[in-house]
Amino acid sequence: MCGVTLCSRSYSDLKAKARRWDGKMLNQLKQKKERLSDELKEQMKKKRKESELNTLRSQISGLETRLKYSVIDRDNTVRVTSTVNSVKTFAPVYSTLVRRS
């Protein structure tokens, strides 16, 4: 069997080794926690930027639609204006022809 001194020394050696192991594992876990926290921060930044990008895409789409309808409205206005100008030009000629007949 083991003597009191031998057993207690091996026990304290094991205890010291366990403390060193626990300290080493604790440091590794702290480093892992820091790394994961940094990764989480980066993912949150990306998510925020993604949300901002979606908002900008939506705004661009709305502006493109407004532009499309504005161009259609402009083209219609130009067409109507040219028709009105043609009528204004034709009206004096028409009234002259009507008076002659």
State the chain's mean pLDDT as an integer: 83
SS (H, E, C) 53-79: HHHHHHHHHHHHHHHHHHHHHHHHHHH
Residue 85 has pLDDT above 80, yes or no: no
pTM: 0.50
The first and second tokens of residue 10, run together, are 């091996």
Residue 67 CA to residue 49 CA, distance in Å, equals 26
**Torsions phi, psi of 67, nearest 5?**
-65, -45
Q: Is 1 helix (H, G, I), strand (E, B) or coil?
A: coil
Q: pLDDT per residue over 27-76, tens digit each?
A: 999 999 999 999 999 999 999 999 999 999 999 999 999 999 999 999 99
